[in-house]
Amino acid sequence: MEELLFDRLQAYAREVYPMHMPGHKMGRISWMEDMHALDATEVPGLDHLLHEEGILGEAQRRVARICGADRTFFLVNGSTVGMLAALSASTRPGGEVLLARNCHQAVFNGAFLHRCIVHWCYPEQMDGLGIHGGILPEAVDKILREKPGIETVVVTSPTYEGVVSDIRGIARVVHGHGKVLVVDEAHGAHFVFGHGAPPSAISQGADLVVQSLHKTLPFFTQTALLHACGHRVDVDLVSRYLGIYQTSSPSYVFMAQMEKGMVRLDREKERFQEYAGHLERLRSGIEALEFGTLLGKRHQGFHGIQAVDLGKICLFTHAHLPNGAVLERFLRNQGVQLEMAGLGHVVAITSVADSREGFALLLQGLEKAKEFFKNSRGCAIMETGISGKEPFKQPVSTAPLTLFEAGTAPKRMCGLLEAEGSVSAAMVHVYPPGIPLLVPGERVEKKAIAILQECLESGLHVVGLEDGLLPVVAI
């Protein structure tokens, strides 16, 4: 009999401890025992998400109070629809936007759909470590002075690796120019519960904040929230765009879990205190191994980093291993699956649902990895990797065409080595995390080609190429 997806998922849950999203960690915290009995539709008494007048309106207001927002919208199609609606509601069609260059692909897709003219703000680079730092308020200020037509600024904080930018400082700059600040806080939904977590952008002056509940809290995949704060964005327009981008048949299971889960977590804040203690011991144990560099408090105050989300275990491995994929594969064989592997680092996502035993499994796996890669067998594996390359650094490129122009223009396929100087017609990124290395409309630089080649040779999952070829604008 052919294997079903259901069977594969059951086997995976038995065999592996998930150091990845969703934050319920394969049901280790669950508030929804009989989901089929709750899977209803828009009948009298159950309200209508796109035109809520009763119980769903009350549920969203309850969650808004917990999070400290003026208005909260339930998202049943993930943070993606939240970012699409936020960008559309805060910017005129064809208007100018300032996007952090490390934004998620959903933001770029929103700019494409809304035909925005995009200006980039590049995050600081963490030299020698190969990930993005934070966005500096002064960098935003400089661009807004040079491009006064910009209407909306979009920043990702925290990043996939846990880097938090100075949102209060950025908000002060953005509002000083009379613009709107949208923060993609998809990886920071847990911030509202405190206990050592950085403050949420909701309390730092952002106008619209999007959070993925499922990434770092015990919620189903696709559950997310869009928060409106202040008066700078028309919330009725936000609601209108959500009605366009979201499904017209929302899951009542998702919506019920969002409300019930947030209420429970707000009442049971001792869970986060216990989690913080487990996390501190885990991080101390990893530091003591001296097997790579752990992103943490020591990095705050440098490279635009206002704070670090300590729940993200971002371990830089390039000094010990050829690439992060080598360590990810080793840990998978030890029964621990990480969230992602990059050229020079790996990321594990922890949550309040993680157990002390789960943290112990990760630490034991890293201890075994350190010993394994010290011996001759480990060295043989290392020799098959890519070594001697400098860590990732986002290449700065020009954009002769807008996202929409390049995305709808005639295309031709081009080999990577021949693509230098062409204009990309595709969004190319390593997934996860889905942060584009190439964006439609950008000129393809030699550095970008070199990074893509290294990613492919390292076995990372590169999205956007077609049979190894890059779609470029036919000129």
Of 31-45, 172-186, 355-369, 398-412, the range with the lowest mean pLDDT is 31-45
Stretch 36-50: mean pLDDT, rounded?
Answer: 89
The radius of gyration of the chain's CA atoms, rounded to the nearest angstrom, is 22
Q: What is the mean pLDDT of the chain?
A: 92
Query: What is the C-alpha to C-alpha distance for residues 453 and 462, in angstroms, rounded to an integer?
Result: 10
* Whether residue 393 has pLDDT greater than 70: no
Type of residue found at 235: V
| Residue 380 confidence (pLDDT) | 44
| Residue 167 confidence (pLDDT) | 99
CATH class assigned to 46-267: alpha beta
pLDDT in tens, 253-293: 999 999 999 999 999 999 999 999 999 999 999 999 999 99
Nearest to 119 by CA among 130, 103, 134: 103
Determine whether domain 403-473 maps to CATH 3.90.1200.10: no
Stretch 229-235: mean pLDDT, rounded?
Answer: 97
Q: Which residues contact 4 (CB under 8 A, 6 or more apart)?
A: none
| Residue 395 confidence (pLDDT) | 61
* Whether residue 198 has pLDDT greater than 90: yes
Structural domain spans, the chain? 46-267, 270-382, 403-473
| Residue 458 confidence (pLDDT) | 81
Q: Which residues contact 269 (CB under 8 A, 6 or more apart)?
A: 193, 194, 195
Q: Which residues contact 329 (CB under 8 A, 6 or more apart)?
A: none
* Whether residue 391 has pLDDT greater than 50: no
DSSP letter string over 305-334? -SEE-TTEEEEE-TTTSS-HHHHHHHHHHT
- Give just the sign of the alpha carbon dihedral 205, 208, 214, 219: positive
| Residue 205 confidence (pLDDT) | 98
Query: What is the C-alpha to C-alpha distance for residues 72 and 49, in angstroms, rounded to an integer?
Result: 12
Of 1-15, 304-318, 369-383, 404-418, the range with the lowest mean pLDDT is 369-383
* Cα 183-187-189 angle, rounded to 5 deg: 85
Q: Which residues contact 250 (CB under 8 A, 6 or more apart)?
A: 49, 50, 74, 76
CATH class assigned to 270-382: alpha beta
Contact 421, 447 (CB under 8 A): no
* Whether residue 379 has pLDDT greater than 50: no
pLDDT band with cut points at 50, 70 and 90 for residue 388: very low
Of 24-28, 224-228, 397-401, the range with the lowest mean pLDDT is 397-401
Nearest to 209 by CA among 363, 115, 117, 72: 72
**Overall pTM surpassing 0.85 (yes/no):** yes
Taking residue 9's Cβ as centre, other Cβ atoms within 10 Å add up to 11
Contact 228, 208 (CB under 8 A): yes
Question: How large a percentage of the chain has pLDDT more than 90?
Answer: 78
- Give just the sign of the alpha carbon dihedral 295, 296, 299, 300: positive
Helix (H, G, I), strand (E, B) or coil at 450: helix
**Spatial strand order in the sheet of 117-121:** 71-75, 224-228, 208-212, 180-184, 150-156, 96-100, 117-121
Nearest to 474 by CA among 399, 437, 402, 419: 419
Q: Which pairing describes strands 293-294 and 312-316: parallel, antiparallel, or unpaired?
A: antiparallel
* Whether residue 55 has pLDDT greater than 90: yes
Stretch 91-95: mean pLDDT, rounded?
Answer: 98
Stretch 71-97: mean pLDDT, rounded?
Answer: 98
Q: How far is CA 246 from its chain centroid?
A: 20
**Which carries the bigger pLDDT value, residue 31 or residue 251?**
251
Taking residue 11's Cβ as centre, other Cβ atoms within 10 Å add up to 11
Query: What is the C-alpha to C-alpha distance for residues 372 and 378, in angstroms, rounded to an integer?
Result: 5
For residue 219, CA distances in Å to 94, 192, 265, 470, 474 come to 36, 15, 11, 37, 44
pLDDT band with cut points at 50, 70 and 90 for residue 127: confident
